[in-house]
């Protein structure tokens, strides 16, 4: 497994930003569900929801008790840089900007900000494409997307 992905998924407390109250069709919700089902302490973040997937939902990262080790960004790319800045301010050093076969959450400005601050940033792909939380369908998708240039290699 690539180094950045292995490091990210080796930490137990992960926030997923961009989860929706209407779970169907939202990539952030799928990531949230899979992390939760694999024993991670996962935290939903959506400023417009009190609960998501039957769990408490937090307005922002600062509201999560005891903080998190990493953040999956599943929002529009225009919000990614502000989220990266919030991560930096809170001392969160691992950021994953979700992206599948369609445009996702990757923002060049957010990627540059993270790198300039020494943060670990995964700019693309989906956590569901990798062990220990991946499934066969997502791993096959990763294989295809890496070869088509839609998912960065070496992450």
Give 42-96 as a DSSP string: EEEE-TT-SEETTEEEESSGGGSTT--SEEEE-S-HHHHHHHHHHHHHHT--EEE
- Residue 152: the pLDDT is 61
Rounded CA separation 15/127 (Å) = 13
Burial class (CB in 10 A: 0-12, 13-18, 19+), 69: middle
- Residue 64: the pLDDT is 98
0.85 exceeded by the pTM? yes
Instruction: State which residues of the chain have pLDDT below 50.
Output: 1, 154
- Residue 18: the pLDDT is 92
- Residue 1: the pLDDT is 40
Percent of the chain with pLDDT over 70: 90
Topology given in CATH for the domain delimited by 3-148: Rossmann fold (3.40.50)
Measured from the Cβ of residue 115, the count of other Cβ atoms closer than 10 Å reads 13
CA-nearest of 120, 69, 117, 68 to 97 is: 120
Whether residue 67 contacts residue 91, with contact meaning beta carbons closer than 8 Å, is answered with: yes
Measured from the Cβ of residue 154, the count of other Cβ atoms closer than 10 Å reads 7
């Amino acid at each position: 497994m690539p180094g950045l992905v292995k490091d990210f998924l080796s930490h137990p407390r992960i926030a997923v930003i961009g989860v929706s109250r209407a779970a169907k069709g939202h990539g952030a919700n799928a990531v949230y569900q899979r992390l939760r089902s694999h024993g991670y302490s996962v935290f939903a973040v959506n400023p417009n929801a009190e609960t998501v997937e039957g769990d408490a939902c937090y307005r922002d990262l600062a509201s999560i008790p005891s903080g998190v080790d990493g953040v999956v960004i599943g929002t529009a790319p225009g919000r990614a840089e502000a989220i990266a800045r919030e991560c930096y301010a809170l001392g969160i050093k691992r950021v994953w900007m979700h992206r599948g076969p369609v445009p996702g959450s990757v923002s060049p400005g957010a990627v540059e900000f993270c790198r300039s601050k020494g943060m670990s940033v995964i700019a693309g792909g989906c956590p569901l494409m990798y062990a220990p939380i991946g499934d066969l369908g997502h791993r096959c998708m990763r294989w295809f997307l890496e070869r088509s240039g839609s998912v960065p290699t070496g992450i």
